[in-house]
Amino acid sequence: MKLERILQNQGFGSRRQCRQLVELGEVRIGGEIVDNPGAEIATAGLVFEVEGEAWTYREKTYLALYKPSGYECSHEPKHHRGVYSLLPHQLVARNVQSVGRLDVDTTGLLLFSDDGAFIHNLSSPKKHVPKIYRAELAEDGSETLIQRLLAGVDLIDEPLPVPALTARLLAPRTLEMSVDLGKYHVVKRMIAAAGNHVEQLHRSGFGGLSLGEGCLAGLAEGEWVYLEAADLQQLHPAA
């Protein structure tokens, strides 16, 4: 692939902007400046530098972000900062999209990609990909609350009761539960329907990926990492 096309494909600007980067000597491959925008470069395993920063060529990109509170999952946020401001502009230029959304005040694991099929597969209710949440409750939890969530609660926009996949109390007012439904405010609504209320919500896991483990170990709020092939395999733990 031509070098200028590679840069454009990886989010470094328009074809003209990428050509200028090359002609100005801002692109290196193997430590050597490549100043020919039309140079044919093999993309397999390609690592290149742009303005001194190293990048790996990725046909599609997959990311995991530890979302802080106070960020909207929107490219055009209205009342708070946008979660896309936490990502490098090159990735935003590639049109990465979040896999579902987290509320402004919800923290935790949020995935992104520019692979439409990947996003659809993880978002589809037919795939039953579990998401794990930790909820801080307004009142002490109880065994009755757990049993109601596991049995299924009635939600206005759902024809059948919606059950939690798992539910357990970690502390009197700390509930961990998993669901495979990605509807609006679903965890908050389920807990309200079961007789309690959420004061703070955190998503700790998505599929087989969990914050604090594996590739996400040590990830702090506001930080992100690339997901590699082995990490993507974990997203479907039953596969």
**For position 184, what pLDDT does the model report?**
80
Q: In order of start, what are the domains of the chain with their CATH numbers?
A: 3-56 (3.10.290.10), 62-125+208-233 (3.30.70.580), 130-206 (3.30.70.1560)
Within a 10 A sphere around the Cβ of 178, how many other Cβ atoms? 16
Of 165, 197, 195, 167, the closest CA to residue 181 belongs to 165
**For position 236, what pLDDT does the model report?**
72
Residue 103 annotated among the catalytic residues of the structure: yes
Q: Tell me which DSSP letter residue 234 carries.
A: T
d(CA 13, CA 89): 10
pLDDT beyond 80 at 237:
no
d(CA 158, CA 105): 24
Report the pLDDT averaged over residues 155-166: 92
Q: Active-site residue among 103, 105, 140, 154?
A: 103
**For position 127, what pLDDT does the model report?**
79
Report the pLDDT averaged over residues 34-41: 95
**pLDDT-based confidence at residue 231 (cuts at 50, 70, 90):** very high
Within a 10 A sphere around the Cβ of 186, how many other Cβ atoms? 17
For 56-84, the pLDDT digits (tens) are 999 999 999 999 999 999 888 788 899 99
Question: Could you tell me the pTM of the whole model?
Answer: 0.91
Q: Which residue do the tokens 């100043």 mark?
A: 35
- Structure token digits, residue 193: 């329907």
For 168-187, the pLDDT digits (tens) are 999 999 999 999 987 788 99
Measured in degrees and rounded to the nearest 5, phi and psi for residue 69 equal -70, 150
Strand ranges (E), the chain = 27-29, 32-33, 47-50, 53-56, 62-67, 71-72, 81-82, 97-98, 107-113, 131-137, 166-171, 174-179, 198-206, 209-210, 224-226
- Structure token digits, residue 146: 């757990």
For 113-122, the pLDDT digits (tens) are 999 999 998 9
**For position 239, what pLDDT does the model report?**
41
